[in-house]
Amino acid sequence: MSDTMFIEGALVILRPLAAADASPAYLSWLNDPAVLRFRAPKAFPSTMESLQRYIAGIPDRGDLVLAVCEKAGGRHIGNIALNSISWIHRSAELSIMIGARDTWGKGYGKEAMTLVSRHAFHNMGLNRLWAESPNPAFNAAVKGLGWVREGTKRKAFLLDGTFVDFECWSLLAAEYRAG
């Protein structure tokens, strides 16, 4: 596990995701039906080898992938990423997974999203972040952070045997600075 702090908040520390993070705990999140309930990759089991390949491939993909760690104790509880970064259009997709279920509902994810948004707009020069999710908790969190609902992808996600909508959100640098 890396000791390199990248961004610090009141509740969490964000640091580069490292090869040593490929742990049994992280692997368990990727195979936990509750964690995967609102995530796409749930049709096939994850293995330690696939997890290690994912982490090793981060530099080639050009994504910013950070481990979300509890500030008190440093435990790795999830990941947050800026994916599909378009330097020409200065936009990126924000994605997050808080895998440690005992930390759900404690504000860690919301703080991590705030910290990464600030970094994206102030340090990376991005103009737009976007996200989409069928998860009511995620949708409530981004709404509470001032993100704007852009629309709905109708019946785009299979959840417990039923197709449900994806809510689409964005946050612009000007909106972030005004908030």
Note down pLDDT in tens along the chain; length 179 residues.
445 789 999 999 999 999 999 999 999 999 999 999 998 766 788 999 999 999 999 999 999 999 999 999 999 999 999 999 999 999 999 999 999 999 999 999 999 999 999 999 999 999 999 999 999 999 999 999 999 999 999 999 999 899 999 999 999 999 999 87
Pairing of strands 64-70, 76-86: antiparallel
> Hunting for tokens 């999710």 — which residue is that?
133
Residue 166 to residue 153: CA distance in whole angstroms: 5
Whole-Å CA distances, 26 to 17, 50, 165:
11, 12, 28
Assigned CATH for 7-126: 3.40.630.30
Residue-level pLDDT at 3: 58
Residue 76 to residue 91: CA distance in whole angstroms: 27
